[in-house]
Structure 1
């Protein structure tokens, strides 16, 4: 009898994983470096780098009584600034784009000058144009979120087998392992992303950014703010060398709402479907985010809006709704006249009528009429906002449709209810549900979706409307 996915275990080397975590922890500690710089004032100095409040900070002390404010100003304004920090353990390269902020101060009584700043990332100075095997680790607040939301393999590390902690996906042709692990003596757990085949760093980094975005959107779990990437040694499996320590570019603090249902929620209809196609959907939504800026922006809008006040939420959700409706329209047009040839013929006939009466019309009227004719086969705003749901067999109730109809009010700053009222909160959550339906369906989702307004009504002891979730 064929084993189910979650009955298989994939083994990982404990020595390798513990070594990677130790290297990560060591890199965040305070270290002193020699400085190589394209600025004569900074070249050959000593620098201190440490990690604090989600950023790397550096501090260069210049022991020189002759430093002038004009010298410092040149450094502050330098667009081609290049710094290389070297010690026996690391060699990091930082260019102008790596620097998040820069400041200087002269200490006249102590006879030295301080240059200090924050860094967006530390990247190895080692030239690396070739494909490599990479492993990235990201702090993870929930060690069970992979298996609780997606079909997963068991993970075996040493003599211990962890249930449903590893996912295997191929993203844009690149096979990857995603799994959760933490050293036994540490409370912290980490999401490991491991390339199975060699890959360029930029491609690997791009995949990770979209993986973190999709995880935050789908599960409501915001994985850590920093990404530590290592190059795996080709001959010694337990050795890996630091390549880049970066801050996740989207800085997602939290996502208040999880989108998809958990597999362990006991909802048979969802788990039966999702055990079959959940990984294919996850692969698809990640790839769509890589390939479509408009699609990933709609997802990011929802996540960012989820932590805002209701009057801001409704506006951002409305923008995301229009964006997704346009994407769905491009994917499957809903023109009133389906046949392009017939639509073109009707436009030509109407323009002939306009030209026939042109002598009796003003130029402005002719221009307006021609514009109407050119757009005669475009769907109405109402169709643009509702037909995508019909075309994808998404059944909205009357209250959902009413929320969509308020979209124009929100876009123009008009609120149908006062801010802070239950009514506005419920409308906002219905809009969130509608947008999420389109986002999920765009990537081929089949499964359960939380009906957020129902849960809000439940927790606030209000009359409940609808169901806790719907299958879409």
Structure 2
């Protein structure tokens, strides 16, 4: 029987907790004369210094902390424009962009730590396939294993005392640059799949050496995520229990193969990567005014990315006799109403009928056809409501931001309608992304969950693709 080995992050977390606790902690500068203190304030490190500061052209200085040498990096450390100012003793406070211990450039195995502000425990549960025990690779309950170009990675949600962390680690050797690029793709992919993308700041460890980085992109949290295997997490009202019972056992988590394909796409396809970030950023704002318009743009972006380029021309119906029968029947209908139709209009209609089976040229599709083409290619059937949601793009292009039609609505009904359309578009985007990555199963139909008042569709709460 193989021995169970659990992941152990105690050494790294001890270092993180030590640095995070610094409140005006005294350090010594390798060069320069004066008193220096390092402080962690909220999500930023600061260096306070009183004396003649040793400015540096490379924006780095070395400090001695607990008898060990560390390097601090900050744009504030660059030489001042007037060099004489650098020679004057003064009190300074610098924002620190990075902290370095040792050199990670020759390392091949890393662990990246993010603070977890999701306020959700067991965040992968019911959403993603989790890593299995194998008795070889250290295991954790809340851990997802994926592959990027044959390189294996684990991402773990780890609770330690009062704090929670997301930890990305590589299981096959990579360079620091590869690890950083792969990890960013993992952040984005996992963020889309669970509705929370870690960010803000991180620590990268390799043995005792580490890097601290303050990141420009903060964590992103949305109320949307595409899949759950637990119908009761969405249908929890007493009147919905029977509906949830019907889905129980049918819904599945997203398999690791699909997770890996999605993250590989994010790693190597810049358009795909930017579109996912755009989707996450807008969804995190929770603005029902912004979401419909931007989601329409994002849907069009993904349609252009995912569409399979085809040079051939394709007839809709291959049976010539059937085409002839349809044209004959349609002309018969025109004959019946010809006295009520202007002669020129009748001629144009008959010409169009004769070309009803004209081959489709995939290089000359209209914008509306381009939006629908990837759904057709991936064999995702669009409902009438989904067709209408796609067409709302035209409202927005013509400045009708509130998507008003001839139906009178109150302000509350307009808000509900816009939330419904946003949720419908998000569901369509989810279907495209997941199906293009090989997913087969159910996705959450968010629009059904958010429909209110006049909107009372007969759609399913979970839709199979």
Cα pair distance change 1:250/1:58, threshold 3 Å:
same
Cα pair distance change 1:387/1:89, threshold 3 Å:
farther
Cα pair distance change 1:100/1:27, threshold 3 Å:
same
Q: Secondary structure at 1:167's aligned position in 2?
A: strand
Q: Say whether residues 1:179 and 2:173 are aligned partners.
A: no
Matched with 1:422 is 416
User: Match for 1:188 among 144, 158, 163?
Assistant: 163
Q: Say whether residues 1:21 and 2:10 are aligned partners.
A: no
Matched with 2:96 is 119
Supply the distance in 2 between the matched residues of 1:200 and 1:338 (Cα, whole angstroms): 47
Structure 1 segment 66-465 matched on structure 2, within 5 A: 80-88=58-66, 91-95=69-73, 113-124=90-101, 126-140=102-116, 141-153=119-131, 164-183=141-160, 186-223=161-198, 225-232=200-207, 241-262=208-229, 274=252, 278-306=255-283, 307-329=285-307, 332-334=308-310, 337=313, 377-411=363-397, 413-415=399-401, 416-417=403-404, 421-457=415-451, 463-465=456-458
Q: Secondary structure at 2:289's aligned position in 1?
A: helix
- Unaligned stretches of 5+ in structure 2? 81-87, 233-243, 316-360
Supply the distance in 1 between the matched residues of 2:310 and 2:248 (Cα, whole angstroms): 30
Supply the distance in 2 between the matched residues of 1:24 and 1:88 (Cα, whole angstroms): 15
Give TM-score, length-normalised by structure 1. Answer: 0.71
- How many residues are matched? 387
Cα pair distance change 1:461/1:381, threshold 3 Å:
closer
Cα pair distance change 1:376/1:260, threshold 3 Å:
closer
Contact kept in structure 1, 2:59 and 2:76, CA below 8 Å: no
- Unaligned stretches of 5+ in structure 1? 38-42, 65-71, 104-110, 233-240, 340-374
Contact kept in structure 1, 2:107 and 2:206, CA below 8 Å: no
Contact kept in structure 2, 1:155 and 1:179, CA below 8 Å: no
Matched with 2:238 is none
Deviation string for 1:151-181 (max 9, x for gaps)?
2246799xxx97x423333323322233333
Q: Secondary structure at 2:196's aligned position in 1?
A: coil
Q: Secondary structure at 2:255's aligned position in 1?
A: helix
Contact kept in structure 1, 2:228 and 2:251, CA below 8 Å: no
- Offset, 1:270: 9.2
Cα pair distance change 1:264/1:452, threshold 3 Å:
closer
How well do the aligned residues superpose, as a CA RMSD in angstroms? 3.8
Cα pair distance change 1:338/1:471, threshold 3 Å:
same
Supply the distance in 2 between the matched residues of 1:429 and 1:102 (Cα, whole angstroms): 51
- Offset, 1:25: 0.7
Contact kept in structure 2, 1:45 and 1:60, CA below 8 Å: yes
Q: Say whether residues 1:469 and 2:462 are aligned partners.
A: yes
- Offset, 1:287: 1.1
Supply the distance in 2 between the matched residues of 1:436 and 1:392 (Cα, whole angstroms): 13
Matched with 1:366 is none
Q: Secondary structure at 1:149's aligned position in 2?
A: coil
Supply the distance in 2 between the matched residues of 1:338 and 1:33 (Cα, whole angstroms): 73
- Offset, 1:428: 1.8
Q: Secondary structure at 1:58's aligned position in 2?
A: strand
Cα pair distance change 1:149/1:49, threshold 3 Å:
same
Supply the distance in 2 between the matched residues of 1:46 and 1:318 (Cα, whole angstroms): 56
Q: Secondary structure at 1:21's aligned position in 2?
A: helix
